[in-house]
Amino acid sequence: MVIDEVDTCFFYDDGPGLREELKYWRKDLGVTLAGIPLDNPVIPASGTFGYGAEFAELYDIDRLGTFSFKGTTLEPRFGNPTPRIAEAPQGMLNAVGLQNPGVEKVISEELPRMKEFFHKPVMANVSGFSIDEYAQTCALLDKEEQVGWLEVNISCPNVHGGGMAFGSSPEAAAEVTRAVKAVTKKPVFMKLSPNVTDIAAIARACEDAGADGVSLINTLLAMRIDLKTKKPVLANGTGGLSGPAVFPVAVRMVYQVYEAVGIPIIGMGGVSSPEDVIEMMLAGASAVEVGAANLVDPFVCRNIIRKLPEVMEQYGIDSLTDIIGGAHHG
């Protein structure tokens, strides 16, 4: 989407002050993700935005590029026992464990409700505990017109018997990719784990197996110990570290994967500002997910989009598409 003194519809009800501030700049925030255009590259990450309803009460979420809804499995999941959230310096640990109502309820209840407040293609995040489960869930979501992309999570560190196990080797990642691609015509983005020796090799395996893109990074496996009880704070023992602490790791991995594959990348991990979005795109991301920051400030994605044109002006950027992978071209 191009923002200039003529095109102010982007700001909806944000008032004349913001329009006055930005009307002198002509900035193109639009990107394309696996053939589907986005007004901007900002995407709230799965597990931090629910199905959008709570955020839609706060602001018009149609201004987002899209959002990745809560991780969905074939059967309902209660998740891990509590406590499953812990604080950490410059971040947080979670071990929620993919709590969700199951794909049938997502299709019968959540997607129809979503139509009332979100009018763009949405990203469906899918998890599983076997290759067949991944395929079944994706096959059901493939029939839903609202779903624009399937983000296949082979990287969750907080469940046993699935999740990250499929993203730990190129062979397993490729096997899930092939199974999912066989049952859907929608673009498939494989969500990769940072808890591996060579994330670029796993990304290449997904590309070779037919993936339309990759998402990275998921959370870093971590632990906190309670000094009083002398036991791990989380009932699960370990959890996934997210937040600003992981941002430099995420940038490095996006940079490495961009050099290894020719498919689009959704970058994520500690993103909380328009500067972070631009840095991630320079590393090679075509779009950027915002995760833990939504739990700190529910307006963070709206505010990033608002401020992007100003930051683009500061750094002499006219089009976000033009800077994708820019750090590799110097």
What is the domain extent for residue 192? 2-328
What whole-number distance in Å separates Cα of residue 111 and Cα of residue 118? Answer: 10
What pLDDT, on a 0 to 100 scale, did the predictor assign at position 329? 78
What pLDDT, on a 0 to 100 scale, did the predictor assign at position 168? 87
CATH number, position 125: 3.20.20.70
Q: Which stretches of the chain are DSSP H helices? A: 16-22, 53-56, 103-105, 111-114, 131-142, 170-181, 199-208, 247-260, 274-283, 293-296, 300-314
Tens of pLDDT, residue by residue over 26-45, are 899 999 999 999 999 999 99
What whole-number distance in Å separates Cα of residue 31 and Cα of residue 322? Answer: 9
* Residue 27 backbone phi and psi in degrees, to 5: -125, 135
For the chain, helix (H) and strand (E) counts, in that order, are 11, 17
Tens of pLDDT, residue by residue over 103-148, are 999 999 999 999 999 999 999 999 999 999 999 999 999 999 999 9
Tens of pLDDT, residue by residue over 2-30, are 554 333 344 445 555 555 454 445 899 99
What is the tally of structural domains in the chain?
Answer: 1
Burial bucket for residue 16 (CB in 10 Å: 0-12, 13-18, 19+):
exposed
Is residue 179 a contact partner of residue 134, using CB atoms and an 8 Å limit? Answer: yes
| Residue 48 pLDDT exceeds 90 | yes
Percent of the chain past pLDDT 70, that is, above it, reads 89
Q: Mind telling me the catalytic residues?
A: 156
